[in-house]
Chain A
């Protein structure tokens, strides 16, 4: 009669080995997952800074009246971020880490009340506008919405 159900010794032994393997590798798996997530954040941060720098360079080289509209993402991966720019580059900070994408040196107009360098806030749209004033090229950064 085989109505009560049986566990074979082989099955129990295999189960034991699998549990042992799982417990010993679970930490390394979690470490790898964390590494992948951090790499994704680093990659997105670099990508965003380079995108903004590239847009400024395009507006700069496009000449008087050239403009580009930039839509900032709400966050980087699952982290908040801060992005600001000055005449030498675009700075990004996310999760306590900071990076810079360089631009061709150019004067950037920003509202001085925002502090040193213009901040581009997450989830906002900005216009980058090239205007020639008294022979000097100035990139205006205008908050659209």
Chain B
């Protein structure tokens, strides 16, 4: 009777089938995971930018040009105030052929009980949106694709625009 030696290592057909299936699943899902990961990073950057913009508004320390404008016509904005970012909402507008990317609109919800006048809110909201776009652009190193106002902001697969801030 012939005896089988087991010194060279063997893998079962079942194992090869499993590995094959897992590989196919990984290949198919990797693109989806990559998209989700990129959007996740972009949202983290957006939150970071929103906080940066709201901090500047809260401390009432602005770039010189904005400061002079506020001093002449929006004096209230040169006083510190409490501003809180509640959440940033994303609206997916699908694939945009102009930019060859999926277009996402970001809408920020902000709570600032001390700022009630619309023109003041517009100024502060624009700053928050500017820093959101700037943070996304710097995170993905896409300064060469956008303009001075970082509008729109780009990542590899997405293009981000910002809607007017919603004041609560």
- A interface residues, Cβ below 8 angstroms from B: 24-25, 27-28, 31-32, 35, 38-39, 42-43, 45-46, 92-94, 96-100, 102
Contact = CB atoms under 8 A, between A and B. Distances in A.
Given A46-B59, A46-B80, A27 B140 contact: yes
5 contacts: A31-B48, A32-B48, A98-B61, A98-B64, A99-B62
A102 B80 CA distance: 11
B61 A46 contact: yes
Contacts of B48: 28, 31-32, 35
Given A31-B135, A100-B78, 17 more contacts: A24-B37, A27-B41, A27-B138, A28-B48, A31-B48, A31-B139, A35-B51, A38-B52, A39-B52, A42-B56, A46-B61, A96-B64, A97-B61, A98-B62, A98-B63, A98-B67, A102-B79
B45 interface: yes
A32 B55 CA distance: 13
Given A35-B52, A99-B59, A28 B64 contact: no
Size class of the contact patch on chain B:
20 to 34
Query: Taking chain B's interface residues, is the majority helix, strand, or loop, or is none over half, making it mixed?
Result: helix
B105 to A, nearest CB: 21
B45 A28 contact: yes
A136 B108 CA distance: 51
A93 B71 contact: no
Interface of B: 37, 41, 44-45, 48-49, 51-52, 55-56, 59-64, 67, 71, 78-80, 135, 138-141
Contacts of A24: 37, 41
Contacts of A42: 55-56, 59, 61
A114 to B, nearest CB: 20
A46 B60 CA distance: 8
Contacts of B52: 35, 38-39
A77 to B, nearest CB: 12
B137 to A, nearest CB: 10
B140 A43 contact: no
Contact of B61 (A27, A28, A99): A99
A43 B37 contact: no
